[in-house]
């Protein structure tokens, strides 16, 4: 049996030695994360001096990392602020034949409300990019129910004449081999638009740029001119995806502080990744070429993290000749929020766990690297693999090491250790180093304030003050909504099929 390794979603899609190999790699992230934590806990009892020196060294490393990342964050912030001031319509029209570019926009839906859907569509219309050059596809899940399908039909009727082409597709429920999620929905829509619009009108594949947006995405005016300009000016544009910066502003003022901090932290991480292009992969709402999408036969329909998997799929398909071009341009999205704080806490945790499920891309990348080893650029490939392992390991362990394990030598080390000079100085050294590292929080608080959208009149100046003060809770938030859900995702991946998570759609409330 010939297996398309690039379409593999998990070890269960394989047989024999391939299945054993893939399954082994699936367990590695959890083994590394839990192994690190358990070894440090054991050594805190058996060799507390070793752990004490390790904690001091780790705290120093953390300070250096905070300074390093803060410089990247500031640089990305400056570049983004510069870009939003540029008139990209003027810049785009300086390029010959810019009008040949056509944009396909796919908006996958589940049960989102009419207001959220229409705000996304209105933002595209208000972008002022020529609407006759836009193909827009609303693709809704059949399992959303008849009432929601009727709402989508009403919206389609309202907007169908506003774009060059408009298509409403309904993704059937229960297709064999599909995981209920965005990847399957998007693939259904892409195949439909290929048949009914692109091929029917003999459109040039090389002139089409595809943007897949979460339905809460509200683009900033100028986005499609910026995207078109990037597509027409970068080297080898068909071997690239194009990534904006997700800024969670749609409902920022209404959302609770812990959800705001978590969302803004994610924004900052994506901003820093734009500077470090060699580490950048696609995330959430992004754009790519129709040529690349057709070459790989669209999205995989059997996995959760379709927004990042599409990058790794292209990276492996083109034998390493694929990258992400940073746009340094914001798009606005929703902070995770529900009708009350307790439900928001549960939703936020589930959202972070789903994001943590991106760890499923590690076995995919390593397995396909082994299968395509002769054709891949070795240095770049090994660097990519290391970055993925390091990123998910750090996500699951760093905050726990700093906040919890750093104090275990004092608790488990026993009388012999507690009478040493090192024991007496460890709290002071740790506290001093972490105080220095708080500079990162100060920078985050300042930049989050500079990024704030206009404060609604119903809120006083104290609401703005709250958004600054909220950053003092970051150490707790990155454990509760960072390390713990990441550890759970990695553990579930290691435990196998019965523990795998499905695609959980974050409820949208404004």
pLDDT in tens, 170-180: 999 999 989 99
Distance CA 299, CA 186 (A): 7
The model's pLDDT over 426-440, given as tens digits with 9 standing for 90+, comes to 999 988 988 888 888
Distance CA 60, CA 436 (A): 10
- In terms of average pLDDT, the best of 82-86, 419-423, 433-437 is 82-86
**Does residue 509 have a pLDDT over 90?**
no
104 forms beta bridges with 135, 210
Dihedral sign from CA coordinates of 228, 230, 233, 235: negative
Distance CA 332, CA 478 (A): 22
Is 203 domain-assigned? yes
- Name the token pair of 311: 């990058």
Please give the C-alpha separations between residue 271 and each of 80, 247, 268, 356, in angstroms, as whole numbers.
9, 9, 5, 18
The model's pLDDT over 250-295, given as tens digits with 9 standing for 90+, comes to 999 999 999 999 999 999 999 999 999 989 999 999 999 999 999 9
**Does residue 152 have a pLDDT over 90?**
yes
Residue numbers of the domain that contains 242: 97-337
Letter string b/e over residues 167-180, b meaning 16 or more CB atoms within 10 A of that residue's CB: bbbbbeeeeeebbb
Average pLDDT (343-370) is: 98
Is 378 domain-assigned? no
Share of the chain above pLDDT 90, in %: 93
Distance CA 471, CA 149 (A): 41
**How high is the pLDDT of residue 2?**
60
Give me the DSSP letters along 217-278.
-EEPTTHHHHHHHHHHHSSSGGGEEEEEEEE--TTTTTS-HHHHHHHHHHHHHHHHHHH-GG
Is 92 domain-assigned? no
Return the SS3 of 398: helix
Is 464 domain-assigned? no
- Strands 134-141, 165-171: parallel, antiparallel or unpaired by DSSP? parallel
**How high is the pLDDT of residue 439?**
86
The model's pLDDT over 389-400, given as tens digits with 9 standing for 90+, comes to 999 999 999 999
**How high is the pLDDT of residue 441?**
87
Average pLDDT (112-122) is: 97
Is 395 domain-assigned? no
- What is the band of 510 on the pLDDT scale with cuts at 50, 70, 90? confident
pTM (two decimals): 0.96
Is 50 domain-assigned? no
Q: Report the domain count for the chain.
A: 1
Is 296 domain-assigned? yes
- CB count within 10 Å of CB 263 equals 25
- What is the band of 1 on the pLDDT scale with cuts at 50, 70, 90? very low
171 forms beta bridges with 141
Is 333 domain-assigned? yes
CATH number at residue 267: 3.90.550.10
- Name the token pair of 87: 């008139």
Mean pLDDT of the chain: 96
**Does residue 306 have a pLDDT over 60?**
yes
Distance CA 395, CA 214 (A): 24
Distance CA 376, CA 369 (A): 7
**Does residue 146 have a pLDDT over 80?**
yes
The model's pLDDT over 453-491, given as tens digits with 9 standing for 90+, comes to 999 999 999 999 999 999 999 999 999 999 999 999 999
- Name the token pair of 370: 């082994």
């Amino acid at each position: 049996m010939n297996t398309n390794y690039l379409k593999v979603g998990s070890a269960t899609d394989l047989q024999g030695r391939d299945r054993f190999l893939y399954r082994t790699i699936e367990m590695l992230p959890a083994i590394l994360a839990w192994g690190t934590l358990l070894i440090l806990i054991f050594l805190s009892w058996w060799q507390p001096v070793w752990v004490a020196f390790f904690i001091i060294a780790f705290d120093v490393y953390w300070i250096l990392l905070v300074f390093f990342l803060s410089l990247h964050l500031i640089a990305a912030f400056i570049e983004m602020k510069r870009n939003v001031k540029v008139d990209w319509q003027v810049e785009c029209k300086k390029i010959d034949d810019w009008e040949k570019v056509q944009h396909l926009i796919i908006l996958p839906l589940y049960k989102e409300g009419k207001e959220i859907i229409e705000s996304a569509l209105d933002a595209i219309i208000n972008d002022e990019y020529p609407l006759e050059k836009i193909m827009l596809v609303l693709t809704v899940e059949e399992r959303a129910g008849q009432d929601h399908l009727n709402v989508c039909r009403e919206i389609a009727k309202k907007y169908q004449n506003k774009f060059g082409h408009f298509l409403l597709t309904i993704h059937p429920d229960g297709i064999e081999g599909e995981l209920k999620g965005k990847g399957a929905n998007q693939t259904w829509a892409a195949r439909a638009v290929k048949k009914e619009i692109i091929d029917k009108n003999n459109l040039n594949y090389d002139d089409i740029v595809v943007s897949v947006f979460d339905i809460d995405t509200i683009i900033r005016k100028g986005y499609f001119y910026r995207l078109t300009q990037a597509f027409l000016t970068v080297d080898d544009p068909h071997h690239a995806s194009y990534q904006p910066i997700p800024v969670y502003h749609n409902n920022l003022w209404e959302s609770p502080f812990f959800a705001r901090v978590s969302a803004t932290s994610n924004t900052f991480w994506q901003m820093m990744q734009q500077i470090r292009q060699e580490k950048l992969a696609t995330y959430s709402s992004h754009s790519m070429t129709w040529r690349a999408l057709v070459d790989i036969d669209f999205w995989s329909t059997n996995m959760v993290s379709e927004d990042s998997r599409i990058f790794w799929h292209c990276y492996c398909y083109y034998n390493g000749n694929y990258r992400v071009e940073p746009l340094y341009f914001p798009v606005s999205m929703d902070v995770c929020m529900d009708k009350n704080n307790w439900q928001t806490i549960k939703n936020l945790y589930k959202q972070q766990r789903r994001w943590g499920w991106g760890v499923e891309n590690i076995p995919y990348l390593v397995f396909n690297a082994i299968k395509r080893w002769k054709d891949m650029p070795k240095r770049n490939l090994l660097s990519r693999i290391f970055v993925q392992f390091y990123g998910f390991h750090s996500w699951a362990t760093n905050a726990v090491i700093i906040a919890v394990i750093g104090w275990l030598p004092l608790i488990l080390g026993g009388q012999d250790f507690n009478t040493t000079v090192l024991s007496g100085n460890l709290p002071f050294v740790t506290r001093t180093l972490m105080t220095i590292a708080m500079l990162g929080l100060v920078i985050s608080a300042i930049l989050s304030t500079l990024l704030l959208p206009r404060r609604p009149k119903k809120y006083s100046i104290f609401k703005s003050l709250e958004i600054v003060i909220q950053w003092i809770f970051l150490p707790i938030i990155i454990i509760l909504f960072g390390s713990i859900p990441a550890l759970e995702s990695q553990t579930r991946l290691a435990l196998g099929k019965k523990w795998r998570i499905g695609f959980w759609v974050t409820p949208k409330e404004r």
